[in-house]
Amino acid sequence: MKFAVVVFPGSNCDRDMYFAAKDALGAEAELVWYQEAELADYDAVLLPGGFSYGDYLRSGAIAATEPIVAQIRSAAEAGKPILGVCNGFQVLLEMGLLPGAMLSNKHLKFMCHYETLIVENADTLFTNEYEEKEEINIPIAHGDGNYYCDEATLQQLKQNRQIAFTYKTNPNGSVGDIAGIVNEKGNVLGMMPHPERAVEELLGNADGLRLFQSILTHWRNRHAINA
């Protein structure tokens, strides 16, 4: 399995994402510059955190207008796993691949610490290595992480089981305590916490590694069936 880590001007978690996929998970991975990327050759696309284009206009708004967006959309339509973390989540929202929008944290302060997440749906290609309702510890680092959607969209997310993770203690005001959601098809995940920063016990926590292992497990099962 081969991962593409898309790098925009202002990405600053791309190396962490690359390390998680290549070194911690042991899969093939490449950093791809957004203007030169050809995503058709990759099995999964990772959109890292950071501040693409300095978060001018809105977080992720400018990155979501780049030509590479058409390739990301094609990969999503083909059923490939698309993971957007923090700024990557914001880009997916701006692209319209996921519903809702991102607001500033309720206390208008940048937050950087561990949060306890609850795995709300362990039956996705991103969460199959977790247990339903399992509590995991994943770091957050954001100023605009207050997820918002209207009531009708929230009910739709619940009915379709599109809420992958919630916060045990909501740090930023996100509606429904939401920390991460998937699209209706289940192959696009956006989340504000950083699983790529929690992939080694040496660093104090490996709870995030199972998210990447889930993607790999899904890919192996899918290709074994199709072989």
The question of whether 112 is a catalytic residue gets the answer: no
Residue 96, class by beta-carbon neighbours within 10 Å (0-12 exposed, 13-18 middle, 19+ buried)? exposed
- Report which of 163, 197, 212 is spatially closest to residue 1, judged by C-alpha positions: 212
Q: Which of 66, 86, 129, 142 is catalytic?
A: 86
The amino acid at 141: A
Asked if 11 and 87 touch (Cβ cutoff 8 Å), the reply is: yes
Secondary structure (3-state) at 191: strand
Q: Which of 129, 149, 194, 218 is catalytic?
A: 194
What is the C-alpha radius of gyration for the chain, rounded to an integer number of angstroms? 16
Secondary structure tally for the chain: helices H, strands E? 5, 11
Q: Which phi-psi region, left, alpha or beta, contains residue 50 (left: φ > 0; alpha: ψ -120 to 50)? A: left
Q: Which of 66, 94, 196, 218 is catalytic?
A: 196
Which residues form the catalytic set? 86, 194, 196
